[in-house]
Amino acid sequence: MLVKAAIVQCGGYQPETISSAVERLLALLDLPWTGLWGGRRILIKPNLLTDKPPECAATTHPEVVRALVRLVKHHGGLPLVADSAASPVKLAAVWERTGFAAMCAEEQVPLISLEQAGAEMFNFRGVPFSIARPVLEADFIINACKLKTHLLTVITNAVKNIYGVVPGAQKTALHKHFPDPGSLGAFLAHLYSLVRPGLTVTDAVLAMEGNGPSSGRPVSLGFLAASTDGVMLDAVVSRLLGIDPTILPFLVPPLTDDAGALAARGVLMGDVAAVQGACAGFVLPATLPRRLIPAGLVRLLQPLLWSKPEFTAACIRCGRCVAACPAPAIRLPDTGLPVLDSAACIECGCCSEVCPVAAIVIRSSRLARLAGSLCRPVRVLASFLRKGK
């Protein structure tokens, strides 16, 4: 069955501008929102990764969520906002610095910590994990994600944003069980299939390029996007950014059997041509070349194919990287920069993700960069041949 995805231009985060854009976005989807939301508990799940202000583009902008809260109320729904931040970061600081504490207080809507609200246990490939109970008890979930690059999964948007329903330090521990893009992608696909948001809204007014999801560069793309099918939305926005959806490690069963089928999964409406122009030149993660290399070749040439963190003089010795490392492969000596045990590093990027001052850069080996550049045309040709079938 065809579903709709909508894209609208949005020039900034002024409340009136965002409100108008979100209203137009949902109008394009043309669904009976009062029937879907009226009298029901509507959980809005933003991206509240870390304690950075909105202008850093690491988190969903509070004005986007404010507009969604007001629309839910307008259609008779009972909104609540909930997420789980990266484990080494104090939640109170996240709420305050991202602007969500003030916004939720002004809108008189609950702001719930998924770390403290109880959870139910699940299992994937023999690994136990939990999902926060408010997520499971909600009548409808709005996935309000931030469009960013990601060192491990290329981008984070609809599917990756659902990782936040796993509370607390489990998110870090799961990286140890699923350390590579393929295994983590399979877990994310399984997790998303359990949660299945009813609506996904992408905040790409100010997105993040480069080495996201926390230490990249803010970039103005000037659009919002939405769909009832977050998987298709990930495919749509990845194409806008010049990314072949087939390299996104989470677009696998049970979400989809054929990434090529994602293009025929729905209809795209709105300001598509204008947004495509804004996305030209979008900078992808430094780790992408290695992600283009087949997994078997990576395992065969592991000592020569690597992408590892390097600590720079900007380090403030806060210790978040040590706490976030699932290996563990980082220690903080009495003086100086953190020290990496290169052999123990699983190259997950968790340290870079939680660094508050972007003091960690990811360096790839020369062979990884070379092999990735050689693999890219092969991937493009394979994708072209699949489309021709």
51-61 confidence digits (pLDDT tens): 999 999 999 99
Tokens of 40: 């029901």
Give CA–CA dist 294/302, Å, rounded: 12
Q: In order of start, what are the domains of the chain with their CATH numbers?
A: 3-279 (3.40.50.11440), 307-364 (3.30.70.20)
Residue 5 has pLDDT above 60, yes or no: yes
Q: Is residue 351 over pLDDT 80? A: yes
Q: Is 94 exposed, middle or buried (0-12, 13-18, 19+ CB in 10 A)?
A: buried
What is the token pair recorded at 340? 């990496």
Q: Which of 364, 330, 250 shows the shortest CA–CA distance to 88?
A: 330
The answer to whether 223 touches 271, Cβ cutoff 8 Å, is yes
Instruction: Kindly state the percentage of the chain with pLDDT values over 90.
Output: 74
Contact 309, 346 (CB under 8 A): no
Residue pLDDT, tens place only, 193-250: 999 999 999 999 999 999 999 999 999 999 999 999 999 999 999 999 989 888 899 9
What confidence tier does 389 reach under pLDDT thresholds 50, 70, 90? Answer: very low
For residue 180, the one-letter residue type is D
- Condensed to tens digits (0 to 9), the pLDDT of residues 237-276 reads 999 998 988 889 999 888 886 655 665 677 889 999 999 9
Mean pLDDT across the chain: 90
Question: Which residues is 46 bridged to in the sheet?
Answer: 144
